[in-house]
Chain A
Amino acid sequence: MAPRLRHPHDPRNCAGPVFGETGQIASRLKAGAAASGAMSPAALHRRAVLGGLIATPFMLRSAPAFAQPSRIASLDFGLAQHLIVLGVPPIALTDAREWDKWVGEPALPAATVDLGTAFAPNIELLAALRPDLVLSTDFTAMTEAQVRRVAPIANMTMYSEGGSPLPKAIAALRQLGTLLGREERAEAYIAETERFFAACAERAKPFRDTPVLLLSFIDPRHIRIYARPGMQQDVLDRLGLRNAWQSEGLYWGFATAGIERLAGIEKAVILADYMPPDVKAVLERSPLWLSLPVRRGNGPVRVMPPVAAFGGVPAARRLASLILDALEARLR
């Protein structure tokens, strides 16, 4: 096989069997992974590491090639979405049972094994499945020490301090493509995503004058408001739509507030991605809620089908479609 050009930190550069000496390879994978660093000082400079990741294609070096990982487990919904669109669906996923309720699309293969909760994945079960690789983010970094004993870890964090998630998600998808030897598929998906967003922006033109308010209901009195810098905001930006909520939130892309905080918003279309079962009835009796300008201009809140709130590129695309569907349905 012709020698291929690789990044010096590329996990596949190491000599020897890839999936035997897990410890050594794990540490190499770790060093190479973007925004890695539960263990290293590099975690303090995520932006720098991320920059390095984006520059990966330009820092090339020759090295021997290896078999690609194919049995992959994920500790994160967003990364699992990426695995699915790359055609290597996860063999196991934490909280897999909740996929249909919180993610919806792309469909998770029914054979995917549920690993339990993200903070205490079932290590023995994971070991029995013999994965080649486990995907993790800074959110689940606490469990990496345990997981690393079973399989190498690639940490690809999309939600972190500094910057917004969509570019990081695209970078993570590209990195995953490289890691799995599916560069073409990753690039094709990313290019398709660009075209998709361009088409969506076209579709969104009639709604440019209507600010959108994206909410998630916690209880009848409190909401999460999706805000900058979040995936939801990135999607609105791509569509050319305006977020009616202008203040910044956490790096996860939301702010928690009492419903009365919406009183200052004159005009907006409210879309919710989640509403607990008991909220609607209470909400529609609340005099404040009923008199809010955003409620009076809208009628009862429209609750969208499930879409991952902290997902990957597929979640961004799904959210774009759902927003446009809801806006167009409103006109009819």
Chain B
Amino acid sequence: MTAITASPRQGGPAPLLLGMTLLALALGAVLLGPKLPLLSQPHASSYDPDRMVLIYSTLPRLAMAVLCGAALGASGALLQQALRNPLASPTTLGIDAGARLALGVATLFYPVLLGWGRDIVALGGSAIAAALVFALSRRQDFSPVSLILSGLLVTLYCGALAAALTLVESRYLASLFVWGSGSLSQQGWQPSADLALRLAVVVLPVTLLVRPLGLLDLGEDAARSLGLNVSALRIGALALAVLLAAFTTSAVGVIGFIGLVAPILARLAGARGFSTSLGAATAIGALLLLLADLAVQLAAGASADFLPTGAVTALVGSPVLLWLLPRLTTRLRKDAAADPAPSRRSGGRHSPATPIVVLGVLLLALAACALLIERAPDGSWRLLAAADMADILPYRWPRMLAAAAAGLLLGSAGFLLQRLTGNEMASPEILGVSAGATFAMAIAFFVGGLPSPAALTGAAAAGAVLVLGLILLLSRRSGFQPERMLLAGIALSALLDAVIGVLSAAGDPRAFQLLSWLTGAGFSAEPVSALASLILAGTALVLGLCLMRWLDLFQLGQTAAQALGVPLGLARVLLLALVAAGTAIATPLVGPLTFAGFIAPHLVRLLGVRRSGAGLFASGFAGAALLVAADWLARTIAFPFQLPTGLVASLIGAPILLWLLQRRAA
């Protein structure tokens, strides 16, 4: 079973709680000390702004921090216990992101709904996101890693959709930014009273579940033999956890990572047994958020900058996740040989060439479509007239070619990564490389004024290389276990999100520029760059082919591969470097979020391609076909809007993927 290895302290969590309480009291005394005497003043005396702020803003804000922190801590503890997964939390399972997207959509299309329906909207979003995460990881028996990977995918997907909304309707959605980064700012007691009421409703069912959930510590089979309906218990606990998180996000916005860190701290402090650790996680969550908010309020007193607490917790929390990864002692990795899709089974009726031909023809047909079918300036559909070709095609073919090149790169990278890890949830989008590239560009934006596109590309490459190096370094201890690297990618993506949250919450319009790059909207496809990326894509495919023998042997399982003379470490580093390079080239073309690298290998498996070499090409072609189609739709469906290609690709891809996974599960 999974656990965190750190020798738990003797004496339980009491010393930690005491220390945090004392610290909170000290900070609180600094913040409130000079103002408390105001409370004893008779109300009738003349207006005193300090007193009003104390009563209606500062105090309710602290109460809100305690309530939200407690709810999130409890939610995280429930999730971690029910799923037996030390990394489960509302943040890592996509629950926060779902609520955020749902409220964003509601703000845009039904602003009035928020007057009464905020909680329902947030709850709906959270529940759908959670359901999606479980649907995605069901195939792998909800194993800890696949669950977190699915959670990240859903988070990225929701984030991309929210980003697209923000880009199209940037003026309306300043509120989405502020809300998304979790500002605790209060102007009365009503919101905290409302939240307290909602939380109170959840408390009773939670207490009823404490004992049965504790039995899970004995192991599932033992719990089952004691007469426990484990599945029903899990679903109940998950529902309660989602409720707690959704109520919180609906009240104040997304406050990341408290739900992850609080239960882990409780365990590290020596909480034994579920009832103790649930209680400790709740208390620690409350104290953590209170401390964070006190610190933010004290800091905000010094500077006038607007700093939302949720963005701060994410900023501090995501490195904690990074730090925790090496301490996870669990055999996360299912041996590749145990993969339920063994490779050497005969592929069925067609020869390996057939799917490649099919995909190639499909790709050409889509390319023709993308080049020739267009929207007229008045919005009607039409075939590109021969007379207009010379005028329009020079703008169209580089864009299409760049999309195709990116698809080739991502499709083949995804194939390599999934074969390498034996994990069908793996995808280059999650490796953190694109997050690193984006990060570097963000820094270039905010430090260097307005850098040139060339400088930005350079920064992106440097960021990609740096992240790759960092991930390699971090995962050296685990022998380059690919799952570790994927998890490191999660933490980096989350950190990036937090930084953008901080920047955008203050309303700095440069955040919009960054966002536009994040969705791949800012890319300029010129003939030279498009051709260059196609050549690079071809090179990557050839290099991938050279490493194919190793990859084939990997499928026999690690031990067998080693026995056959594959240098495991070297092979992994080379393959991962290829994946990272491909991702880094493709990312500026279509944005960091396409899901092409995720979906293409699945499509290929569906087509029955078993051999690695054929699979690599087929996967590349599938990725290219997906992105060419996406590029065409991105240009035409919302005319005159040009949607981000990557976003459209993920919109097309997600349903395909769900269908694929369901099909395979059946």
List residues of B (556-608) whose CB comes within 8 Å of A's CBs: none
Asked whether any CB of chain B lies closer than 8 Å to the CB of A292, the reply is yes
Contact mask B511-547 → A, CB, 8 Å, 1/0? Answer: 0110011000110111000000000000000000000
Q: Which residues of B contact A296 (CB under 8 A)?
A: 47
Taking a contact as CB atoms under 8 Å apart, the answer to whether A291 and B185 are in contact is no
Q: Which residues of B contact A259 (CB under 8 A)?
A: 185, 187
Alpha-carbon distance between A289 and B57 when the two chains are bound, in angstroms: 10
Number of interface residues of A (CB under 8 A): 65
Alpha-carbon distance between A257 and B183 when the two chains are bound, in angstroms: 10
Taking a contact as CB atoms under 8 Å apart, the answer to whether A150 and B49 are in contact is no
Alpha-carbon distance between A82 and B187 when the two chains are bound, in angstroms: 41
Q: In the complex, what's the smallest C-beta–C-beta distance from A308 to chain B, in angstroms?
A: 11
Residue of A114, A119, A277 near B640 (CB, 8 A) is A114
Asked whether any CB of chain A lies closer than 8 Å to the CB of B391, the reply is yes
Taking a contact as CB atoms under 8 Å apart, the answer to whether B640 and A288 are in contact is no
Q: Which residues of B contact A219 (CB under 8 A)?
A: 175, 178-179
Known: A142-B517, A222-B183. A127 touches B391 (CB 8 A): yes
Asked whether any CB of chain A lies closer than 8 Å to the CB of B610, the reply is no
Alpha-carbon distance between A266 and B377 when the two chains are bound, in angstroms: 54
Q: Which residues of B contact A121 (CB under 8 A)?
A: 642
Contact mask B43-61 → A, CB, 8 Å, 1/0? Answer: 0000101101100111000
Taking a contact as CB atoms under 8 Å apart, the answer to whether B186 and A221 are in contact is yes
Interface locus among B227-235, B446-454, B478-486: B446-454
Asked whether any CB of chain A lies closer than 8 Å to the CB of B16, the reply is no
Residue of A142, A149, A291 near B47 (CB, 8 A) is A291
Most buried by B among A119, A257, A282: A119
Contact mask B621-650 → A, CB, 8 Å, 1/0? Answer: 000000000000001000111111000000
Asked whether any CB of chain A lies closer than 8 Å to the CB of B171, the reply is yes
Interface locus among B18-26, B109-117, B335-343: B109-117
Alpha-carbon distance between A40 and B455 when the two chains are bound, in angstroms: 11
Asked whether any CB of chain B lies closer than 8 Å to the CB of A224, the reply is yes
Residue of B49, B175, B392 near A124 (CB, 8 A) is B392
Taking a contact as CB atoms under 8 Å apart, the answer to whether A260 and B115 are in contact is no
Asked whether any CB of chain A lies closer than 8 Å to the CB of B505, the reply is yes
Q: In the complex, what's the smallest C-beta–C-beta distance from B500 to chain A, in angstroms?
A: 15
Taking a contact as CB atoms under 8 Å apart, the answer to whether A145 and B524 are in contact is yes
Taking a contact as CB atoms under 8 Å apart, the answer to whether B507 and A264 are in contact is no
Known: A124-B635, A143-B524, A252-B509. A138 touches B450 (CB 8 A): yes
If over half of A's interface residues share one DSSP class (helix, strand or loop), that class is named, otherwise mixed; here it is mixed
Known: A218-B174, A256-B505. A292 touches B188 (CB 8 A): no
Asked whether any CB of chain B lies closer than 8 Å to the CB of A106, the reply is no
Asked whether any CB of chain A lies closer than 8 Å to the CB of B324, the reply is no
Q: Which residues of B contact A255 (CB under 8 A)?
A: 304, 306
Contact mask B158-191 → A, CB, 8 Å, 1/0? Answer: 0000000001101110110011000101111110
Taking a contact as CB atoms under 8 Å apart, the answer to whether A286 and B509 are in contact is no
List residues of B (248-291) whose CB comes within 8 Å of A's CBs: none
Q: Which residues of A contact B635 (CB under 8 A)?
A: 122, 124
Q: Which residues of A contact B53 (CB under 8 A)?
A: 260, 263, 288
User: In this complex, what residue of B is CB-closest to A266?
Assistant: B49
Q: Which residues of A contact B119 (CB under 8 A)?
A: none
Known: A43-B449, A102-B171, A120-B642. A222 touches B185 (CB 8 A): yes
Q: In the complex, what's the smallest C-beta–C-beta distance from A44 to chain B, in angstroms?
A: 6
Residue of A128, A139, A288, A292 near B509 (CB, 8 A) is A139
Q: In the complex, what's the smallest C-beta–C-beta distance from A43 to chain B, in angstroms?
A: 5
Taking a contact as CB atoms under 8 Å apart, the answer to whether A263 and B507 are in contact is no
Asked whether any CB of chain B lies closer than 8 Å to the CB of A194, the reply is no
Known: A102-B171, A122-B640. A145 touches B188 (CB 8 A): no
List residues of B (385-433) whose CB comes within 8 Å of A's CBs: 388, 391-392, 394-396
Taking a contact as CB atoms under 8 Å apart, the answer to whether A221 and B183 are in contact is yes
Q: In the complex, what's the smallest C-beta–C-beta distance from B117 to chain A, in angstroms?
A: 11
Q: Which residues of B contact A256 (CB under 8 A)?
A: 178, 306, 505-507
Q: Which residues of B contact A107 (CB under 8 A)?
A: none
Asked whether any CB of chain B lies closer than 8 Å to the CB of A210, the reply is no
Asked whether any CB of chain A lies closer than 8 Å to the CB of B497, the reply is no
Alpha-carbon distance between A130 and B167 when the two chains are bound, in angstroms: 26
Taking a contact as CB atoms under 8 Å apart, the answer to whether A278 and B452 are in contact is no
Asked whether any CB of chain B lies closer than 8 Å to the CB of A72, the reply is no
User: In this complex, what residue of B is CB-closest to A39?
Assistant: B452
Q: Which residues of A contact B509 (CB under 8 A)?
A: 139, 252
Q: Which residues of B contact A285 (CB under 8 A)?
A: 188, 190
Most buried by A among B57, B175, B450: B450
Q: Which residues of B contact A143 (CB under 8 A)?
A: 522, 524
Alpha-carbon distance between A107 and B644 when the two chains are bound, in angstroms: 31
Taking a contact as CB atoms under 8 Å apart, the answer to whether A260 and B56 are in contact is yes
Asked whether any CB of chain B lies closer than 8 Å to the CB of A16, the reply is no
Asked whether any CB of chain A lies closer than 8 Å to the CB of B141, the reply is no
Taking a contact as CB atoms under 8 Å apart, the answer to whether A250 and B52 are in contact is no
Alpha-carbon distance between A293 and B51 when the two chains are bound, in angstroms: 12
Asked whether any CB of chain A lies closer than 8 Å to the CB of B293, the reply is no
Alpha-carbon distance between A79 and B174 when the two chains are bound, in angstroms: 23
Known: A121-B642, A145-B453. A150 touches B188 (CB 8 A): no
Alpha-carbon distance between A116 and B516 when the two chains are bound, in angstroms: 13
User: In this complex, what residue of B is CB-closest to A150?
Assistant: B395
Alpha-carbon distance between A209 and B179 when the two chains are bound, in angstroms: 37
Alpha-carbon distance between A205 and B183 when the two chains are bound, in angstroms: 40
List residues of A (111-139) whose CB comes within 8 Å of B's CBs: 113-117, 119-125, 127-129, 138-139
Asked whether any CB of chain B lies closer than 8 Å to the CB of A38, the reply is yes
Q: Which residues of A contact B391 (CB under 8 A)?
A: 127-128
Contact mask A24-37 → B, CB, 8 Å, 1/0? Answer: 00000000000001
Taking a contact as CB atoms under 8 Å apart, the answer to whether B49 and A218 are in contact is no
Asked whether any CB of chain A lies closer than 8 Å to the CB of B374, the reply is yes
User: In this complex, what residue of B is CB-closest to A98?
Assistant: B171
Q: In the complex, what's the smallest C-beta–C-beta distance from A108 to chain B, in angstroms?
A: 15
Taking a contact as CB atoms under 8 Å apart, the answer to whether B377 and A125 are in contact is yes
Known: A128-B377, A286-B187. A119 touches B167 (CB 8 A): yes
Contact mask A45-74 → B, CB, 8 Å, 1/0? Answer: 000000000000000000000000000000
Q: In the complex, what's the smallest C-beta–C-beta distance from A221 to chain B, in angstroms?
A: 5
Asked whether any CB of chain B lies closer than 8 Å to the CB of A254, the reply is yes
Taking a contact as CB atoms under 8 Å apart, the answer to whether A218 and B178 are in contact is yes
Alpha-carbon distance between A36 and B521 when the two chains are bound, in angstroms: 22
Taking a contact as CB atoms under 8 Å apart, the answer to whether A278 and B179 are in contact is no
Taking a contact as CB atoms under 8 Å apart, the answer to whether B524 and A115 are in contact is no
Q: In the complex, what's the smallest C-beta–C-beta distance from A143 to chain B, in angstroms?
A: 7
Known: A102-B171, A218-B175, A260-B57. A119 touches B111 (CB 8 A): no
Taking a contact as CB atoms under 8 Å apart, the answer to whether B374 and A117 are in contact is no
Contact mask A238-278 → B, CB, 8 Å, 1/0? Answer: 00000000010010101111111001100000000000111
Alpha-carbon distance between A224 and B177 when the two chains are bound, in angstroms: 13
Show 19 residue pairs from A and B whose CB-CB distance is below 8 angstroms, ordered by the A residue.
A37-B450, A116-B642, A117-B167, A120-B644, A123-B395, A123-B642, A125-B377, A127-B391, A139-B509, A218-B175, A219-B178, A250-B508, A256-B306, A256-B506, A277-B112, A278-B111, A278-B112, A287-B187, A296-B47
Would you list the 3 A-B pairs with minimal beta carbon distance, nearest first?
A: A258-B185, A119-B516, A288-B56
Q: For the A-B complex with A116-B642, A121-B642, A256-B506 known, give 20 more contacts whose Cβ atoms are closer than 8 Å.
A: A39-B453, A120-B641, A120-B644, A124-B374, A128-B388, A142-B517, A145-B524, A149-B394, A221-B183, A222-B183, A250-B506, A252-B507, A258-B183, A260-B186, A260-B187, A264-B49, A276-B175, A286-B56, A286-B188, A291-B56
Interface of B with A (CB < 8 Å)?
A: 47, 49-50, 52-53, 56-58, 111-112, 114-115, 167-168, 170-172, 174-175, 178-179, 183, 185-190, 304, 306, 374, 377, 388, 391-392, 394-396, 449-450, 452-453, 505-509, 512-513, 516-517, 521-522, 524-526, 635, 639-644
